[in-house]
Amino acid sequence: MGKPKTMTFSERYPPQVVFPFFDVLAIFLGGWIAYAIRFDVVELHERYVLAITCIALLVLVINSMTGSYRRWRIMPVFQMLGKLMLVWAAVGITAASLIFFAHAAQRYSRLWIGMTLVISFLMAGGARLLVQLGLQHIRTRGGARRPVFLVGPSQNVLNVAKGIRRSAWEGHTIAGVERLKAKPDDEAIARIVRRIIQSQAREIWICVPLEMGETVRLLFYALRNHTAEVRFIPDFQDMHLLNHRMSEVADHYSIDLSVSPMSGMARFLKRSEDIVIGALILLLITPVCAAIAIAIKMSSPGPILFKQYREGSNGRCFKVYKFRSMYVHKEDDGQVTQAKKNDCRITPIGAFLRRTSLDELPQFFNVLQGRMSIVGPRPHALAHNEQFKSLVESYMRRHKVKPGITGWAQVNGLRGETDTLHKMQRRVEHDLWYIDNWSLWLDLKIIFLTIFKGFMNKNAY
């Protein structure tokens, strides 16, 4: 491939070099500032120099293990900062554990450790923020661009080109396009390679549907002696993907089309979130639950709790708990009638509980049991699963994660009765979007929105 005209900033200063430097500098500056504030002394004691060095090494190791020094060009700013915050939290927990097990707690100030981590995080995060926002500003105005050559059928190339324009902040520009009408022969392949060389593109994107896999092999082989990056962008337009990614299994690369995001560190974070926040909420709502239990017992005969089997993560069934909001009644086997407006089965206290979502408070016990999560797709009755799984595309993929007390669909107004197919489709679309975009920060956002607009809803009856 011809010599490129200029190198972009990220090529001249790759993140594997720049960000570790930022991080180490931030740790040492943060430790020094924290020491001066805590002890009113500028010169560091040697044991604190040792502690700062250990913290800096931990930051480098954990950042490298989590891949934080890779793919920064296309990573959204808030995702980058969120990942960095998790790394700093892990460093803090690890450092505190090492000090505890080394019986050195009396030799180091806990306030200094906390201040060091906070100050250094603000510095490291601020450096990333400035670099990323600065580059995005430059890229959206046409600078620091990576020329890309697109190869594929007209519609596929057009779709990718639109994506490049929508994501101008990533800094790609189209250096050339080769539209394929069929599988190219040797002469066509040679012509494409010549055009790519003349374009001086740094990346070649092969945008073809899966059935044109042989074309990918031919182009990849023809470009074997060139240094441009080659990417295969398959067309999944007619497939509803879920948390898709590349992985390696059985010593082979795989394109994961539909997998759960709750694995590894994500699973640990999700469970920790449920235990910590769930236990705190349960502690706060205990008096309210006791008052509701008394009101239910005094207002109508029957049990306080309503228990019903629901389908959880990966199809495992469990009993979901709710405060009973209806008079005790029987339905035909396999039939579940959704509550409707002015439903005569609902008790007076039950109407209030359902309208305010207080009937769902016992589900925090389900959360602590590990059968539900605070945030996730709402669990539907088993009969509804059977009814809609053949009517709504990808309906059962909601069960890739634990069901939740609240969810993305609920805070977007999709609560209550799903009496039409369209309503269920919209709810499933929101549930799948949540699974595909899960993060700890998204969960916290949903919890926050639930507090202000998720409990009271005109569709809940």
Transcribe 233-297 into DSSP letters: --B-TTS--BS-EEEEETTEEEEESB--S-STHHHHHHHHHHHHHHHHHHHHHHHHHHHHHHHHH
Look at residue 369 in the predicted model and tell me its pLDDT: 92
Cβ neighbours for 269, distance < 8 A, ≥ 6 positions apart: 86, 440
Q: State the DSSP H helix or E strand holding residue 178, giving kind and residue range, or none if neither.
A: strand 172-179
In terms of domains, do 57 and 172 share one? no
Distance CA 350, CA 295 (A): 10
Beta bridge partners of 146: 172
- pLDDT of the residue at 251: 61
Report residue 306 as tokens.
């309503």
Q: Are residues 286 and 410 in the same domain?
A: yes
Residues 315 and 448 in one domain: yes
What is the C-alpha end-to-end distance of the chain, expressed in Å?
66
If one counts the domains in the chain, the total is: 3
Rounded to an integer, what distance in angstroms lies between the CA atom of residue 310 and that of residue 382? 6
Decide if 254 is inside a domain: no
Q: Are residue 315 and residue 396 in the same domain, yes or no?
A: yes
Boundary residue ending a domain (140, 156, 179): 140
The pLDDT, as a whole number, for residue 403 is 94
Q: How far apart are CA 194 and CA 215, in angstroms?
A: 17
User: What is the reported pLDDT for 339?
Assistant: 61
Tokens 């055009």, residue located = 195
Amino acid, single-letter form, for residue 182: A
Is 328 in the same domain as 352?
yes
pLDDT computed for residue 1 by the predictor: 42
As a whole number of angstroms, the distance between CA 106 and CA 116 comes to 17
CA distances in angstroms from 142 to 73, 128, 139, 147, listed in the order given: 15, 21, 5, 11
Whether residue 119 sits in one domain with residue 152: no
Task: Say what angle helices 110-140 and 15-39 make with each other, to 10 degrees.
Answer: 140
On the CB side of 279, CA atoms within 13 Å amount to 7
246 in a domain, yes or no?
Answer: no
Q: Which of 140, 169, 190 is where one domain is finished?
A: 140
- Residue where a domain terminates, one of 221, 237, 253: 237
Name the residue range of residue 27's domain: 9-140
The answer to whether residues 37 and 90 belong to one domain is yes
Question: Is residue 333 located within the same domain as residue 415?
Answer: yes
Give domain status of residue 259, yes or no: no
Q: Are residues 189 and 104 in the same domain?
A: no
Q: Which pLDDT score, from 0 to 100, does residue 208 have?
A: 85
CATH of the domain at 150: 3.40.50.2300
| Ranges in the chain, pLDDT < 50 | 1-5, 461
HSE-up (13 A, CA, CB side) for residue 151: 27
245 assigned to some structural domain: no
Residues 40 and 120 in one domain: yes
Instruction: Please give the Cα distance from 388 to 309 (Å, whole number).
Output: 17
> Which residue is it, tokens 């250094």?
120
- pTM check: above 0.85: no
The verdict on 269 and 391 lying in the same domain is yes
**Residues 297 and 414 grouped into a single domain:** yes
